[in-house]
Structure 1
């Protein structure tokens, strides 16, 4: 596999620190040292018009071009000293042992469309004959009912919906690694995804944390589990500082999940003191908090102005620990004032998407103009297509590294969406 060498500890990351804390994210802007990506693969080729809505796509990317753009993104990070590792490689390494691989197959079939007993047995037999890397790739790609020289038999084909081509659905959203899990401090949230098409994605991270030698011996705290009742997605989670986490209450993340993870953080982590819950419009253009609001420097954030209500007000909930009731919730309505308070800043700059122009802002917001990935304070990676937002960032003194984006943007997510920081330097 082409990325296997990236799973070794990179000499650009201080080994002693990584051995002690394999995960560390205490801000959105600390120097990025290790990041998890997933290069788009064969799953993209299984996107067809009849099932785009089911698989949460608006269009069909061209695979060679989207891979080229993703490689450009990964190389841009490496040139800045970031260790890039791949979800596919970690997952394959986590299921090297036969008993773990069998359990993974059981779990993936149970959570997929092959729920008939005969179908279950035949898919299991087929998958067990694959190597760990072949298995992970097959599961990510999805599996047609007619797969591999009739080894999946006509009986299986007839038992399932004859008009539906897959016995295992493809996972074309996997390159958005930020959603299924999110690192907070030295722990991780393994998320309950809201949409059916994406719920299996967090299973990979669950196995990686339990069985991969890079992580499983470190007693990593799990702040939220994928088997929880209420949906929570990583792009709604921003680590503003060691003490403060912002969570978007959105179309994909529920208010109850926000309360649940707040309780978990307060009871098990001695650093997080506040969770700032921010309600955002529940529409496709404002899918997650990080599509409308990201941190780019110690005192600068990008924002899409349309999330602000009349007079700049919106529904914000300051959640803190309280000994008697568990949580103390205070309602606020001014985002700028709340952010200055929790970041202990006298002044804070909100940099508008599209330079504040209503047409440019709407157009570039559709292509994630506010979705920046900070790799150090005041240094961000963005899509090249959002040229007005990029020039606006530069006018505020932010260094902007542009990435090719014609095909990547078709998935309706930006560069923060498709990157999961595992280790950042503290600031």
Structure 2
């Protein structure tokens, strides 16, 4: 009887793409987020910009924003897991610490300072069959914001320049791309070189989802300047078809317009201030669930960054 109960509590992971009907997700938390970090403690140029300006987001505002997302998930009957709260610690961006492809959860080889974030979702990891929890070799650097399963494909943002170690914003390397291809030999792994900057947020694609995201069944949001190699941007434009692509401006990329989150092929959670994008989405037949998320966006992350899908239909 005990064995029967145990088996029924196991999580059957299933992620084949970015838009299948969401059934279970890890949503980060802004509770006990801690004081404003020092410039030295920041991981990206946008956070640094707001620290310097005295406009870095405060915990109460971010908690409200994340609860608005949790409310939308409840509306759509999505099972939501939250991290255990660590005192004075930023745990908003759950996509950075792990990601799911097919039935495998892959632990991100994250910045060493963020290891505790993974420990805080152990109650979720323990519900997954151990064979399906993957730890990549130490030389493989990867974060979930750079990894997008899309049916037969896995799209991965990377940076392969020799100056990779110099960029705090370079999070996924070529070793990780190769390792993921070996893990999923039946998939076509397509990597994209991203533009990186430690100092200028409008010229920095921290992750692939900062300049690109597939939506629906055949559409995408795209920002050309996020890609270092124009032919790779053109490949995406041709793959989805120009008529199916919503091109965002540099300012819209800075405000994280490509970092929305799909609950289903026809339902998208988006920031309430993304007026141009949200109008286009509705014109294309999407249901748009608008939430406030502008404060969290100040840390160069938005809705996709703070969610880690576990099960989609």
Q: Work out whether the TM-score is over 0.5.
A: yes
| Counterpart check, 1:350 vs 2:248 | no
Choose 373-382 or 402-411, whichever is displaced more. Answer: 402-411
- The structure carrying a bigger helix percent of its residues is 1
Cα distance in 2 for residues equivalent to 1:220 and 1:198: 24
Helix, strand or coil at the partner of 2:141: coil
Cα distance in 1 for residues equivalent to 2:244 and 2:228: 18
Shift of 1:46: 2.2
| Counterpart check, 1:41 vs 2:36 | no
| Counterpart check, 1:246 vs 2:246 | no
List aligned pairs for 1:283-362, cutoff 5 A: 283=197, 284=201, 285-307=204-226, 312-314=230-232, 334-337=235-238, 339=239, 349-353=244-248, 361-362=249-250
Contact 1:381 1:403 in 2 (8 A): yes
What corresponds to 1:255 in structure 2? 174
What corresponds to 1:325 in structure 2? none
Helix, strand or coil at the partner of 2:69: helix
- How many residues in Structure 1 have an aligned counterpart in Structure 2? 284
Contact 2:221 2:247 in 1 (8 A): yes
What corresponds to 1:276 in structure 2? 190
Helix, strand or coil at the partner of 1:72: helix
Cα distance in 2 for residues equivalent to 1:83 and 1:18: 15
**Is the radius of gyration larger for structure 1 or structure 2?**
1
Helix, strand or coil at the partner of 1:365: helix
Helix, strand or coil at the partner of 1:46: coil
List aligned pairs for 1:112-151, cutoff 5 A: 137=85, 140-142=86-88
List aligned pairs for 1:81-160, cutoff 5 A: 81-88=77-84, 137=85, 140-142=86-88
Q: 1:379 aligns with which of 267, 270, 273?
A: 267
Contact 1:237 1:247 in 2 (8 A): yes
Cα distance in 1 for residues equivalent to 2:308 and 2:124: 14
Judged with a 3 Å threshold, the aligned counterparts in structure 2 of structure 1 residues 74 and 220 are, in CA distance, closer, same or farther, namely farther
| Counterpart check, 1:221 vs 2:124 | no
CA displacement, residues 296-339 of structure 1 (integer Å, 9 cap, x when unaligned): 110111111323568x5238xxxxxxxxxxxxxxxxx62234x3
Shift of 1:55: 3.2
Structure 1 runs (4+) deviating above 4 angstroms are: 17-21
Cα distance in 2 for residues equivalent to 1:350 and 1:184: 24
CA displacement, residues 230-287 of structure 1 (integer Å, 9 cap, x when unaligned): 210000000101x321111142100111111211222xxxxx4211111121234311
Helix, strand or coil at the partner of 1:42: coil
Contact 1:24 1:185 in 2 (8 A): yes
Contact 2:24 2:311 in 1 (8 A): yes
Cα distance in 1 for residues equivalent to 2:20 and 2:243: 18
Judged with a 3 Å threshold, the aligned counterparts in structure 2 of structure 1 residues 308 and 52 are, in CA distance, closer, same or farther, namely closer
List aligned pairs for 1:53-64, cutoff 5 A: 53-56=40-43, 57-58=47-48, 59=50, 60-64=56-60
What corresponds to 2:142 in structure 1? 232
Contact 1:223 1:261 in 2 (8 A): no
Where in structure 2 are there 5+ consecutive unaligned residues? 51-55, 160-169
Q: What TM-score, normalized by structure 1, do the two folds share?
A: 0.61
Choose 372-381 or 388-397, whichever is displaced more. Answer: 388-397
Contact 2:195 2:227 in 1 (8 A): no
What corresponds to 1:179 in structure 2? 96
Cα distance in 1 for residues equivalent to 2:35 and 2:12: 35
Larger relative contact order (Cα-Cα within 8 Å, sequence gap ≥ 6) = 2
Contact 2:192 2:227 in 1 (8 A): no
Contact 2:193 2:227 in 1 (8 A): no
| Counterpart check, 1:264 vs 2:183 | yes
- RMSD, matched Cα: 2.6
